[in-house]
Structure 1
Amino acid sequence: MPMKVKEVAELVGISIRALHHYDNIGLLTPQETTEAGYRLYSNKDLETLQQILFFKELDFPLKKIKEIITNPDFDQKEALQLHRKMLLEKRRRLDNMIQTVEKTLQQRRGEIHMTNKDKFEGFDFSRNPYEQEARERWGDEAVDRSNAKFNHMSKQGKDHMSRQMDTIYKKLATLRHDSPDSDAAQAAIKEWYFFMNESINNDDLMKFKGIGQLYIDDERFTNNIDNYGEGLAEFMRDAMALFADRHKK
Structure 2
Amino acid sequence: MTNGAADDAVAPDGLTVGATASLVGVTVRTLHHWDAIGLVRPSGRTIGGYRLYSAGDVARIHRVLIYRELGLPLDDIGELLDAPAIDATVSLRRQRAQLAERISRLQGMVNAVDRMIEAASAGILLSAEEQVEIFGKQWQPSWVAEARDRWGDTAQWAQYAERSAGRTAEDWRQLAESTSALHDDLAAAKRAGVRPGSAEGNTLAERHRASIDAYFHCTHSMHVCLGRMYVADPGFAAYYDAMEPGLTLWLRDIIDANARDRGIDPEAATWT
Relative contact order, higher structure (CA 8 A, sep 6+): 1
Question: Which TM-score applies when normalising by structure 1?
Answer: 0.47
Bigger Cα Rg: 2
Question: Which TM-score applies when normalising by structure 2?
Answer: 0.43
